[in-house]
């Protein structure tokens, strides 16, 4: 049995939208279109989306708490080492910063080696937490002064977020590390009635894998 255990076992996160990969209804289809625009890092659409998150943070206590104070936005790296390919999480982080959510964007984590893209892999072939963790490196030695909020486009099980948080924890063990994913996948629901639904949850290491709740 693999003895890997991430050095950080729990990461609190917030999310704004939900995504249904297979739901037949109009809202589920709209959620898929939203997810597709997010993946392409549509520069005309992302600022509007960031303003929606800002408005939610005014009304939703968990989001307000996540972005309150001296918050540093840390984009979650893409599946491959930095290249010319669009990095959606970094553009999302920049859009959130532009509406006042966070003190600055800090690309503190980089991908050393490529992992399979989860969006194009079947469940059994998606990278594990260990594979993510071992493919990542800290890009700076600067000590953070403020809460670190990982910014990702989509969260499914939470393996990537847990691995990035664990890698940051190895370098900055005293840092307050949390996460924000714009969209969370709701693959077990047959359909969804709305796709703008903020939530607060946690990603845990349990049974040898990441587990997201809710």
Tokens standing for 25? 């209804």
182-208 pLDDT, tens digit each = 999 998 888 999 999 999 999 999 999
pLDDT, tens digit (0-9, with 9 covering 90-100), for 47-92: 999 999 999 999 999 999 999 999 999 999 999 997 656 789 999 9
What pTM does this model have?
0.95
Q: Is 167 exposed, middle or buried (0-12, 13-18, 19+ CB in 10 A)?
A: buried
8 A C-beta contact, residue 72 and residue 106: yes
Q: What's residue 121's pLDDT?
A: 54
Domains of the chain from N-terminus onward: 10-213 (3.40.50)
Residue 9 makes CB contacts below 8 A (sequence gap 6+) with 204, 205
Half-sphere exposure of 68 (CA within 13 A, CB side): 9
Q: What does the pLDDT look like over 22-40, one tens digit per residue?
A: 999 999 999 999 999 998 8
- Non-local (6+) Cβ contacts of 70 within 8 A are 103, 145, 146, 147
């Amino acid at each position: 049995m693999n003895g890997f255990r991430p050095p950080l076992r729990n990461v609190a996160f917030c999310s704004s939208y939900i995504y249904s990969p297979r739901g037949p209804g109009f809202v589920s289809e709209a959620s898929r279109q939203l997810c597709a625009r997010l993946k392409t890092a549509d520069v005309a659409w992302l600022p509007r989306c960031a303003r929606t998150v800002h408005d939610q943070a005014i009304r939703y206590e968990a989001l307000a708490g996540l972005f309150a104070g001296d918050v540093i936005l840390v984009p979650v790296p893409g599946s491959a080492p930095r290249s010319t390919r669009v990095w959606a999480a970094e553009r999302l982080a920049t859009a959130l910063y532009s509406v006042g959510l966070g003190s600055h964007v800090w690309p503190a984590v980089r991908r050393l080696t490529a992992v399979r893209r989860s969006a194009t892999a079947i469940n059994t072939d998606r990278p594990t937490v260990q594979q993510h963790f071992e493919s990542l490196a800290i890009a700076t030695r600067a000590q953070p002064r403020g809460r670190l909020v990982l910014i990702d486009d989509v969260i499914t099980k939470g393996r990537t977020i847990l691995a990035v948080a664990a890698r940051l924890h190895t370098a900055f063990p005293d840092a307050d590390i949390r996460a924000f994913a714009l969209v969370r996948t709701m693959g077990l629901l047959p359909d969804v009635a709305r796709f703008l639904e903020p939530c607060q949850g946690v990603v845990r290491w349990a049974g040898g894998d990441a587990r997201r709740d809710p």
